[in-house]
Amino acid sequence: MDDNNSNPDAGSTGKAVPFPATEFFDGLPEPDLLAFATAAEKKHYAKGDYIFAQENNATHFYIVISGWVRLYRTTPDGQEATAGVLTTGAVIGENAVFENAYQYSAQAIEAAEVSAIPVSLFRERMAQSPNLMLRVTQELARKLESAQLQIEHSTLKSALQRVGCLLLRLSANITGAGGAFNFPYDKKIAAQQLGMQRETFSRGLSGLRPVGVTVKGSEIGVDNFQRLTDYVCKGCSAYPDKCPGPRVDASGRKMPLYKKLYFFVGGVLCDTYGGLLQIF
Amino acid sequence: MDDNNSNPDAGSTGKAVPFPATEFFDGLPEPDLLAFATAAEKKHYAKGDYIFAQENNATHFYIVISGWVRLYRTTPDGQEATAGVLTTGAVIGENAVFENAYQYSAQAIEAAEVSAIPVSLFRERMAQSPNLMLRVTQELARKLESAQLQIEHSTLKSALQRVGCLLLRLSANITGAGGAFNFPYDKKIAAQQLGMQRETFSRGLSGLRPVGVTVKGSEIGVDNFQRLTDYVCKGCSAYPDKCPGPRVDASGRKMPLYKKLYFFVGGVLCDTYGGLLQIF
């Protein structure tokens, strides 16, 4: 049993359903996709329910269909360290494919639907499609890049920029020049996610007013996303295809975050977005 | 060409040599090991030399034989974010196995020897030994755990505890009750590694005097490792087998960091080191 919920309705299973579009399954051979879609169980969790707990026996991995899920670790003295806040399309518990126990607790912080896929099936298909392991590898690489970026931001960026970065990620699907959205989960968790106090987070939100951010309760307004991007993404080392929340234009294309700049690495002139220009 | 060094002696190649013991290759079939050992090139780098630069074409991955290597990213405005400081047995550039470009710059911060293994060979052997990809996956999982732990520490631990954690990692091979060692690389880089200012790092070192740490130039003395461990590791969520620097006893066994404690996750009583005790 991998569900540990006090809510008796939590984790109730429905009939097999496909999972949402995710890079994890994108382009896999039909037979693999069909096998996963058939075995996948849709589960519903109420706000506060646990999908799995740290150190539980790892039997499934999960694709988030909707809602918000927090991954966190509990320290021996009972403190919680938030490792990620994830939504539609995110893969959680993927370490179950090669380890026996979950590394984190996964809690629905708003009502959530997830698709549960048995790791036993994944391992079985992997024997025939070795490149399935590549999916897990790429998923871990994505999460590593995201964690390293968080470390970079906590070292090099101001609290205001880190709050602004989260706002850009939460609004990445808005295609207009500006727009408004409801902050989708508890701001206390957002503060934990950014490794700051709740008060610092609130001050960060109001401090972004000069770059066009307004806050009315849970509604966040952004006058001009490009203006906020210019302020927030200045000096971030993420490329558009690695940024956890790049703006997307009306055609769904990921847009550059910030103007291209040039820098030296070991006598080599490089540009921001990857080109090696000249060796001196 | 993946070496970009101003030093003309940098990256000079020697004859094929085996690589140091590392979990990455541990227990692989003989034919794979032999193929890697035959293709591996030993390379020497002087302090300051680059092994590879961020966004270079990724042709090799590397095992550190000796010395110290810093991984870092450069932001568009020229700031550096240190992603890791690694020594003997560490794998670097492993993303080359599934991506075209290095994600980081790798710089020798002290004279270093590394073993360079062509990714083309790795991919070729992988076609016959699919579980080779599992090694890359586990390596990424280790690095992800380490990054998440760094995020946890920056949120939940004091600067003193973070400095003490680094001292414990750097002295993990000392088996006595106490001991002394030379800080093996520039303390400025150690400060970057922990995401703090150089001055905060120095204050951290002197602030650890009450728990038996003494500093004379580059020599660090620790009266009693258990006493430092009790202070530093209190409340850390890492298990001994996941800690990046657990103390090792005279027989080479990894020792528990801190006394076992109990905590609740979703109505389940768990202990610090993984047991699920009872469901309420």
Full-model pTM = 0.83
Check if B278 contacts A (Cβ < 8 Å). Answer: no
Q: What is the mean pLDDT of residues A212-240?
A: 91
What SS3 state is found at A42?
strand
Q: Which two tokens stand for residue A55?
A: 């150190």
In chain A, the residue whose alpha carbon lies closest to the alpha carbon of B99 is: A138
A76–B107 CB contact, under 8 Å:
no
Q: Looking at CA atoms only, how far is residue B151 from chain A in angstroms? A: 6
In chain B, the residue whose alpha carbon lies closest to the alpha carbon of A71 is: B148
Residues composing chain B: 280
| pLDDT one-digit tens code per residue, A96-144 | 998 889 989 999 999 999 999 999 999 999 888 877 888 999 999 989 9
SS (H, E, C) B99-157: CCECCCEEEECCCEEEEEEEHHHHHHHHHHCCCHHHHHHHHHHHHHHHHHHHHHHHHHC
Q: Could you give the CA distance from residue B97 to residue B90 in angstroms, rounded to a whole number?
A: 16
| ipTM rounded to 2 decimals | 0.82
Q: Which sequence spans correspond to the domains of chain B?
A: 151-255
Check if B34 contacts A (Cβ < 8 Å). Answer: no
Q: Could you give the CA distance from residue B128 to residue A130 in angstroms, rounded to a whole number?
A: 10
Is residue B256 a contact partner of residue B240, using CB atoms and an 8 Å limit?
A: yes
Report the run of H or E that residue B188 belongs to, with start and end.
Answer: helix B187-193
- Report chain B's C-alpha Rg in angstroms: 20
Give CA separation, B220 vs B166, B167, B192, B270, in Å: 12, 8, 19, 37
Q: Which of B79, B145, B274 sits opposite A235 (nearest CB)?
A: B79
Q: What string of pLDDT tens digits covers the 280 residues of chain B?
A: 344 444 444 554 444 457 888 889 988 888 999 999 999 999 999 999 999 999 899 999 999 999 999 999 988 778 888 999 999 999 999 999 988 999 999 999 999 999 999 999 999 998 888 778 889 999 999 899 899 999 999 889 999 999 999 999 999 888 889 999 999 999 999 999 999 999 999 999 999 999 999 999 999 999 999 899 989 988 788 877 777 766 666 666 665 554 444 444 554 444 444 444 433 3
The per-residue pLDDT for B253 is 63
The per-residue pLDDT for A247 is 67
Q: Looking at CA atoms only, how far is residue B106 from chain A in angstroms? A: 10
Give CA separation, B114 vs A11, A29, A126, B42, B118, in Å: 49, 39, 33, 6, 13
Overall fold of domain B151-255? Arc Repressor Mutant, subunit A (1.10.10)
Check if A8 contacts B (Cβ < 8 Å). Answer: no
The per-residue pLDDT for B162 is 96
| Nearest-10 crossing angle of helices A225-232, A159-170 | 140
Q: Are strands B41-45 and B179-182 parallel, antiparallel or unpaired?
A: unpaired
Q: Which two tokens stand for residue A152?
A: 């970079």
Measured distance between the N- and C-terminal CA atoms of chain A, rounded to whole angstroms: 61
The per-residue pLDDT for A235 is 79
A5–B266 CB contact, under 8 Å:
yes
Q: What is the mean pLDDT of residues A76-81?
A: 84
Measured distance between the N- and C-terminal CA atoms of chain B, rounded to whole angstroms: 61
Residue A188's φ and ψ, nearest 5 degrees, are -65, -40
| pLDDT one-digit tens code per residue, A141-198 | 989 999 999 999 988 999 999 999 999 999 988 888 999 999 999 999 999 999 999 9
Check if A237 contacts B (Cβ < 8 Å). Answer: yes
Check if B101 contacts A (Cβ < 8 Å). Answer: yes
Strand extents, DSSP E, chain B: 12-16, 41-45, 50-52, 60-66, 69-74, 80-86, 91-92, 105-108, 112-118, 179-182, 213-216, 219-222, 262-265, 268-271, 276-279
The per-residue pLDDT for A16 is 44
Low-confidence winner among A24-28, A47-51, B42-46, B244-248 (lowest mean pLDDT): B244-248
